[in-house]
């Protein structure tokens, strides 16, 4: 159990560092706030995958890494859908072709960025969390 907590903290810090560096390189003045938001989302998929590993260990480290990325994909997809719903219903943007075109372009870039930045965290999470479990290889 201790290794799972240590792995979650280490992977979360790595994820935050990746996001912060990326946002600073993009010239984002709100890099700290965005990093905090992304770390909160990452904590969601990290906890989910650790609970699943506690229930049933993955057959290999590759399966473990792919499992982490699947949870990240699920959370990122939900976040993208929530952002679109917020734009339409909360911010009052009209539903139309222009909104979908703009949102698609920005959304796909953010989606790809989020998944790319989840890879190092996924690898670190599985390598540390499964370190002390002899059944995982």
State the sign of the Cα–Cα–Cα–Cα dihedral 62, 63, 66, 67. Answer: negative
> Does position 137 have pLDDT exceeding 80, yes or no?
no
Q: Binning pLDDT at 50, 70 and 90, where does residue 78 land?
A: confident
Q: Is residue 68 one of the residues assigned to a domain?
A: yes
* pTM for the predicted model, two decimal places: 0.81
For the residues 97-109, what does the mean pLDDT come to?
A: 84
- Return the beta strands (E) in 1-137 as ranges: none
> Does position 73 have pLDDT exceeding 80, yes or no?
yes
What does the pLDDT read at residue 132? 65
Q: Is residue 116 one of the residues assigned to a domain?
A: yes
| DSSP letters spanning 65-81 | HHHHHHHHHHHHHHHHH
Q: Is residue 137 one of the residues assigned to a domain?
A: no
Q: Which domain holds residue 48?
A: 1-131
What does the pLDDT read at residue 10? 95
Q: Is residue 117 one of the residues assigned to a domain?
A: yes
State residue 27 phi and psi, 5-degree precision.
80, 25
What does the pLDDT read at residue 47? 92
Q: Is residue 56 one of the residues assigned to a domain?
A: yes
If one counts the domains in the chain, the total is 1
């Amino acid at each position: 159990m201790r290794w799972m907590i240590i792995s979650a903290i280490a992977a979360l810090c790595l994820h935050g560092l990746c996001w912060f560096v990326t946002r600073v390189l993009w010239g984002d003045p709100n890099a700290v706030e965005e990093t905090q938001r992304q770390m909160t989302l990452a904590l969601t998929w990290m906890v989910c995958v650790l609970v699943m590993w506690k229930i049933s260990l993955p057959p290999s480290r590759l399966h473990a890494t792919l499992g982490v990325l699947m949870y990240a994909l699920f959370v990122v997809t939900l976040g993208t859908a929530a952002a679109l719903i917020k734009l339409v219903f909360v911010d009052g943007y009209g539903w139309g072709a222009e909104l979908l075109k703009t949102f698609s372009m920005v959304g796909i870039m953010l989606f790809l960025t989020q998944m790319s930045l989840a890879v190092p965290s996924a690898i670190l999470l599985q390598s540390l969390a499964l370190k002390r479990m002899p059944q995982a290889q």
